[in-house]
Structure 1
Amino acid sequence: MNNRDTSMQFFEYVRKYLTEFMPRHRNLSENTVQASRDALNLLLDYCVKHLGIPLVKIEVKTFLDIGITTGFLDWLEEKRKCGNATINQRLSCIRSFFKYIAYEDVTYASIYNRLLTIPRRKVDKNKTIEFMSEDALKAILSCPDTKLKTGFRDCFYMSLMYDSAARNSEMLSIKMKDITDNKTAPYVFVNGKGRKKRSIPLMQKTMAICHIYVREFHGSYNPDDYLFYVIHHGEKRKMSDDNVAKFIKKYAKQAREKCSEIPFKVHPHMFRRSRAMHLYRNGMSLPLLSEFLGHEDPETTLIYASADTEMKRKKQQQLT
């Protein structure tokens, strides 16, 4: 088998894994499949742009060199500024892919076994969560130029993400049919982890912005169109998480010039955390907050109570 054939074999494994094995055989959710697609895209991008390996020469045996994968993980930390939890998630996706290849061809099992020797990064579960104050949130939402089409889209995206406290992956998967406006109690359906779908109530002012957005971006109603999209080769495509991270970073930088409360690093998940903390501080009980956020384990929500207590303790020490 020549280089071209072995490269084609590798990419055939990628195709079958993402389009057949994960969604059909394992019945995994669209978000889970997307996470694996993103991890493999980043790995290939690292190989081509940073290691100088031509795409047509990448094959399964390329990854016999465990240094490629460990170097990729270091690159995620140093260049893309990913946290340990994100790095661990990317590693898990890569391991699962090569486990699939090992089942398809046992001669590749050694690659999967080598990947298992890479230690997971330590995640500090007691780390204080970062969130934005209400003033910081208002400052960021005021930055997009809503007279521009993309500026209005970005403003609505951030407003909806905060109001719904949806994960970024959940936001990007929202389709037109998932938004319901029954006048008195509008809500949105989101697909959470483990294919669990939940309805989230929306504020009337968010729904008012939504109506304008739909008129501007969805002239003809198609229930299966993604609410947020980009045009690629004349076709509507699902917006990428990189696109969202890019415009949020831009607006956070602008807002920091007029509001000192803007955190140094603002990312999409911070909108979810901020909404959760604001709701908790305004009296929402932890069990209800857990349901609102779609946490599989209610104890996960305790981090907001712990964070709030810790901040009060530090403030008390400053005053004494």
Structure 2
Amino acid sequence: MNIHKTIVYTKEIYEKANKANKELLKDYLVELKSKKRKPNTLEQYLSDGRMLICYVANEMENKSFLDFNKKDFRQVSLWLTEDRQVSNARFNRVFALIHGMMEYAEDEEDYEYEKNYARKIKNLPKEPVKKITFLTDIQISKIRGYLLEHKMYRECAYLDISYDSAARINEVIQMKKQDLVDNRYSNTVVGKRGKQFNLIIHDHSIESLRLYLEQRGEDHKEELWVSVRRKDHKVVGKQAAYEWTKKMCKILTELEGKPITFSPHCFRHSALENYENGTHYMCRVLAEPKKFSLEELRVLAHHDSMDTTKSYLKPKENNVIEGMFGVKIS
């Protein structure tokens, strides 16, 4: 599937990016050139390096690579796999650059760099089988119940909004708190291909949002997602959402007694699947219980084609065969 990705590198961002990062990239590429690396490889590394530097400038407070810890490299890893959904080959190429740069800095006397945390991030398998975890409405309810019981209202609001709106993580993170509960829809967010739209929220989101905002208290931050533990209510982003989702994996694993893993993007898959099969709680809440059509789901997901929407749902071939011959396929 051809997935459009937001442009990360621009000349304007790169000019303002961390000077030390640009110098390290430049020095490393000179080193590779002296070792007679192929021009095509150098061009790819230059492109990947500029992308990384711009991402760090925008999303990681323009931090120096030399100051990265394990968590920082993990954030880059999650950004590549979850947000940009790059192939395993592309992931490995980008991290080959990162590993090489940090090893170069470690060996060169000009750089005061001793602990290379990038080594902790391993390459992905060459031919992965990408498995999508579809959560049932019952499983979502189990997680939700636990979060409410333990007063994890922010995490619950994130879960509810993601499941209600079927939105991408990048879209949910853009939400503002102003008038959100009263309007039952978000401010305008920017999705893929620069599309602009509002996210619609429903009963569960309204409930958890009220609890979260009450727990959060008064502040002057317009952003919806902040750290509730810090007095200054520092704004948090996608990395925090990944961490919340990890907690939810552990919660569901404990509740069901078996290992279950999923990513923030699985909430989008699960919402669309459950809206389509009529098990989403909103299908029951509506005046006339219903299942949503593929065209309705396409509009909700802001997809350009129904083929893209179909790819987000479970394959239905077995259902057809079961209907033809009355054989239950497990």
One-letter identity of the residue aligned with 1:249: K
Residue 206 of structure 1 corresponds to: 205
Please say if residues 132 and 263 of structure 1, whose CA atoms lie closer than 8 Å, have aligned partners that are also in contact: no
Residue 144 of structure 2 corresponds to: 141
TM-score after normalising by structure 2: 0.56
SS of residue paired to 1:86: coil
Q: 1:156-179 CA deviation, whole Å, 9 max, x = no partner?
A: 211221111111111111012362
Residue 131 of structure 1 corresponds to: 134
The alignment of Structure 1 onto Structure 2 pairs a total of residues equal to: 235
- Write the mapping of 1:131-170 to structure 2, written as runs, cut at 5 A: 131-144=134-147, 146-148=149-151, 151-170=152-171
Rounded to whole Å, the distance in 2 between the matches of 1:91 and 1:319 is: 36
- Write the mapping of 1:122-271 to structure 2, written as runs, cut at 5 A: 129-144=132-147, 146-148=149-151, 151-177=152-178, 179-182=180-183, 186-191=184-189, 192-193=191-192, 194-203=194-203, 205-220=204-219, 222=220, 225-230=222-227, 235-259=232-256, 264-271=260-267
Please say if residues 229 and 237 of structure 1, whose CA atoms lie closer than 8 Å, have aligned partners that are also in contact: yes
Rounded to whole Å, the distance in 1 between the matches of 2:306 and 2:215 is: 39
Residue 306 of structure 2 corresponds to: 298
Rounded to whole Å, the distance in 2 between the matches of 1:55 and 1:157 is: 34
Higher relative contact order (CA closer than 8 Å, sequence separation 6+): 1
One-letter identity of the residue aligned with 1:285: S
Deviation at 1:138, TM superposition (A): 2.1
Residues 59 and 199 of structure 1: CA distance in aligned 2, closer, same or farther (over 3 Å): closer
Please say if residues 172 and 238 of structure 1, whose CA atoms lie closer than 8 Å, have aligned partners that are also in contact: no
Q: 1:154-210 CA deviation, whole Å, 9 max, x = no partner?
A: 12211221111111111111012362525xxx223451221422342422x421221
Please say if residues 154 and 212 of structure 2, whose CA atoms lie closer than 8 Å, have aligned partners that are also in contact: yes
Please say if residues 139 and 259 of structure 1, whose CA atoms lie closer than 8 Å, have aligned partners that are also in contact: no
Q: Which consecutive unaligned segments of at least 5 residues does structure 2 have? A: 1-8, 30-41, 53-72, 95-125, 279-290
Deviation at 1:60, TM superposition (A): 2.6
Same amino acid, percent of matched pairs: 19
Q: Which consecutive unaligned segments of at least 5 residues does structure 1 have? A: 1-12, 21-39, 45-53, 96-120
Residues 82 and 264 of structure 1: CA distance in aligned 2, closer, same or farther (over 3 Å): farther
Residues 56 and 82 of structure 1: CA distance in aligned 2, closer, same or farther (over 3 Å): closer
Deviation at 1:272, TM superposition (A): 1.2
TM-score after normalising by structure 1: 0.57
Please say if residues 156 and 208 of structure 2, whose CA atoms lie closer than 8 Å, have aligned partners that are also in contact: no
RMSD over aligned Cα atoms: 4.5
One-letter identity of the residue aligned with 1:144: L
Deviation at 1:314, TM superposition (A): 8.1
Rounded to whole Å, the distance in 1 between the matches of 2:195 and 2:89 is: 20
Q: 1:265-298 CA deviation, whole Å, 9 max, x = no partner?
A: 2111111111110000011011111111121333
Please say if residues 188 and 200 of structure 1, whose CA atoms lie closer than 8 Å, have aligned partners that are also in contact: yes
1:62 aligns with 2:28: yes
Deviation at 1:143, TM superposition (A): 3.1
SS of residue paired to 1:197: strand
